[in-house]
Every structure is written in C-alpha cells, then in structure tokens.
Homo-oligomer: A and B are copies of this chain.
C-alpha cells in the first residue's frame, strides 16, 4: 500500500473484488481435491491454503474490524490461514500446510462464499474510503497469491512421476532467432519509485533520486538457446563464473540445468503447467536462480541491470505481454520487457530512502523481508497483468528457482 494513495471508489473496489475472486476460483476449477493438498516444500503452499488465506486476509483486515455484524464460520481459521502477520496473532506452521485436510475443498469454498457475501454487503453500503482502499489491497494481495498458486502447483505436480498436466498441452509456435542487441541510456540523476498516484505497495515508494552512470540494456531476455550455449560451454562446471554462495548451492542441489529440465533422447525437455514439452529455443529461459543468472551474465561478458536501470529503461513501454491473463502459463518466444519471465536485477531488496512501512500488521507486508533477497522486474506468464506497474518490485532469495524467473543482460556504456 503506497504511503499516499488515492482510495478507489467503493463501486470500483467491488468490481475489482468480484473479478479477482472469480479469477482465483477459475484457476482452481480444473483441480481435484487431492491436487489442492500438495505442499512440496516450505516455500510453496497448497492451492486450498491459497484459497483460504486470501479469504482470511479480507476477513482479518476488513470484516472483523469494520463490519459490525460479521461472524466468521470458524474462528479457528484465523490460526490456520494466517501466513506471517505476527500482529494478527499466532499461526499454523508454514511447512505443515499440506497436513490440513479439513476444512476440505468444499468447506473452503463455503468460507470464500461467506466472506464474499459479507464484503459485497459492506461495500454495497458505500462506507468510508478506507475500506475501499483495504479491499483494493486485498485484491492485489490475492493476485500475488494467484501467481503463487500456479507456480506452487507446478512444483507440487513436478514430484509426480506421471508428470500430469494442469492445462492441456498445446504446441509452441516456431519462431526465428532474435539477435541480441543493446540500447544505450545516458543515466544521470534520475527519479525512480512510485509517486502515489493509483495503487502501489509500500515498498515501491517513496519516489526518490538516484544516480546512474551511462549504461546499455539488452533488447530481449536471455533465451533457452543462449542458456544451452552456456551449459555446453561448461558454465555449470566453472567455479570462476560463480558467486561463492552460488557455487556451494549448485553443488548441494546438483544443478546442471534450469529447474524442471531434463535430457531425453538427445533433446532438452522441460516440465510445465501444460505437461512435459521440448525446450523452445527462442523462449526466455525460466526457472533459474539469481546465482545462475549472475554466472551467465559473467560468462557473457555482461552483468545484470540494477533495478533503477531496468525501471528507467522500460517504464515508458506499455505494460502488456504474456501474463496470467493469456492463459499460456509458460514463457513464449518473442515479447517485450513485460510478461513471460521475471528478470533478476543485481539489486538487493532494500528500503528506498525514507521508506516507512504503514502502522499495524499491514506494515509487515514487505518491510520485514528487506534482507537477503534480490529484486526482479517485469512480471511473468503467471502474473496477473493488473498487478504490474513500472515501479513494481518483486523479490526472491538468490537460490530460489520455482517461480518464473529469467534474466536480461546489461553492461556499462562503452566510453
């Protein structure tokens, strides 16, 4: 939530709310109850938990404090479905979310309907703009969980030797190789960050000045074709390309290709939400960690961009591309800076100058994660389009790979 955001009108908030809630239901529609139980690692959560947690968010932060007549269907859900909001009370162990068989999927759907009706009721009465602003925040929160829901599902299903498909397979278009080009930027004293108009998360502001030396940034992300060249050049076996922590992680987890890749009959295959498919050479590489992205950039004689470079380079391009809305659910060849894959930057996730999180539990949304993680920009094929703005910052630990994570090269301007 941005420090000084103009609250939406109640009817706008209600419309957004209905749309987002329906989209989450649609994402879960193809799943059997068994599928919604999968939790394959602590970082990932079961689909059923995402359904309930996003609902709890509205209940906890809007209905309980602001709706006098609201009654929860089960007060114990507050314990089960809080994720990490310390100020909202104790919560169930994160690594045991897959052990909650009850409430089952029908009961969780009832819980959603119950909260939806109460929110409809509350917003229908108009009410204060603070509520509409919180509903908007809850909708953006739920959009983030839509992205997690599908990527967590991919991770969960990937442990099944039958390699089941979430959506029907469909051939990838055959495209031409796009040569790598770079565009120069003059740098200088620039302003980045959100200026408070329209919705944004707290961590996107305050807007502030920062100095950039002249730089160049690639016109397209690194592709699978590029990545295979790196692999064939021994990139995964050459310690001098890697950060020390990255090299150690590579060894512990036996990395020799992106996550979900394997070699079969002389070809590289990858597992996707549409099942197994041959690696498409011209699609952006995906499911690589920061450590791998950084090693690749070093091998390529380049570097990753900073988040400020990324923002100034692309903020004037329209935010459109292969997002969750397209339903592809996998990176496609071609495409601009937005969509397909998140792009690692070399910027650690730190507070912008004069950053202050909001008071209360909502202030835990981003601020307490501002250490050990790296910023990514751009959005992926699992990200709802409506979630993205030029100032949007997402962040992951440098070893993580299960999200739709790729990269784009940058370099210092040649003098």
Q: A32: which of B101, B159, B243 is its contact (CB, 8 Å)?
A: B101
A182 within 8 A of B: no
> Would you list which residues of chain A between 28 and 56 have a CB under 8 Å from chain B?
32-38, 40, 48
Q: For chain A, which range describes its interface: under 10, 10 to 19, 20 to 34, or 35 or more residues?
A: 35 or more
Q: Is the CB of B34 within 8 A of A80?
A: no
A141 within 8 A of B: no
CA distance A105 to B245 in the complex (A): 32
With a cutoff of 8 Å between Cβ atoms, the chain B residues found around residue A317 in the complex are none
A328 within 8 A of B: no
CA distance A86 to B246 in the complex (A): 14
With a cutoff of 8 Å between Cβ atoms, the chain B residues found around residue A161 in the complex are 76, 79-80, 92
Q: Which of A115-123, A207-215, A278-286 contacts B (4 or more CB under 8 A)?
A: A207-215
A258-293 vs B, Cβ < 8 Å mask (1 yes, 0 no):
000000000000000000000000000000001100
A175 within 8 A of B: no
A183 within 8 A of B: no
Q: Is the CB of B99 within 8 A of A160?
A: yes
CA distance A180 to B38 in the complex (A): 49
Q: Is the CB of B102 within 8 A of A244?
A: no
Q: A36: which of B34, B189, B213 is its contact (CB, 8 Å)?
A: B34
> Would you list which residues of chain A between 350 and 376 have a CB under 8 Å from chain B?
350-351, 353-354, 364, 368-372, 374
CA distance A154 to B398 in the complex (A): 32
A184 within 8 A of B: no
A71 within 8 A of B: no
Known interface pairs A87-B240, A348-B350. Does A105 touch B34 (Cβ–Cβ under 8 Å)?
A: yes
CA distance A18 to B355 in the complex (A): 50
Q: Is the CB of A164 within 8 A of B372?
A: no
A156 within 8 A of B: yes
A68 within 8 A of B: no
Task: Give the nearest-CB partner of A41 in chain B.
Answer: B99
CA distance A242 to B370 in the complex (A): 11
With a cutoff of 8 Å between Cβ atoms, the chain B residues found around residue A351 in the complex are 346
With a cutoff of 8 Å between Cβ atoms, the chain B residues found around residue A243 in the complex are 368-371
With a cutoff of 8 Å between Cβ atoms, the chain B residues found around residue A159 in the complex are 96, 99-100
> Would you list which residues of chain A between 178 and 235 have a CB under 8 Å from chain B?
189, 208-211, 213
Q: Is the CB of B37 within 8 A of A101?
A: yes
CA distance A354 to B211 in the complex (A): 13
A294 CB to nearest chain B CB (Å): 8
Q: A189: which of B189, B290, B350 is its contact (CB, 8 Å)?
A: B189
Q: A102: which of B96, B102, B162, B290 is its contact (CB, 8 Å)?
A: B162
CA distance A37 to B31 in the complex (A): 14
18 A–B contact pairs at CB < 8 A? A35-B102, A40-B99, A80-B162, A86-B240, A87-B240, A96-B159, A101-B157, A102-B160, A103-B162, A211-B211, A213-B353, A243-B368, A245-B369, A346-B351, A353-B412, A354-B412, A371-B374, A371-B398
A residues touching B (Cβ–Cβ < 8 Å)? 32-38, 40, 48, 76, 79-80, 84, 86-87, 92, 96, 98-105, 156-157, 159-162, 164, 189, 208-211, 213, 239-240, 242-247, 290-291, 294, 346-348, 350-351, 353-354, 364, 368-372, 374, 398, 412
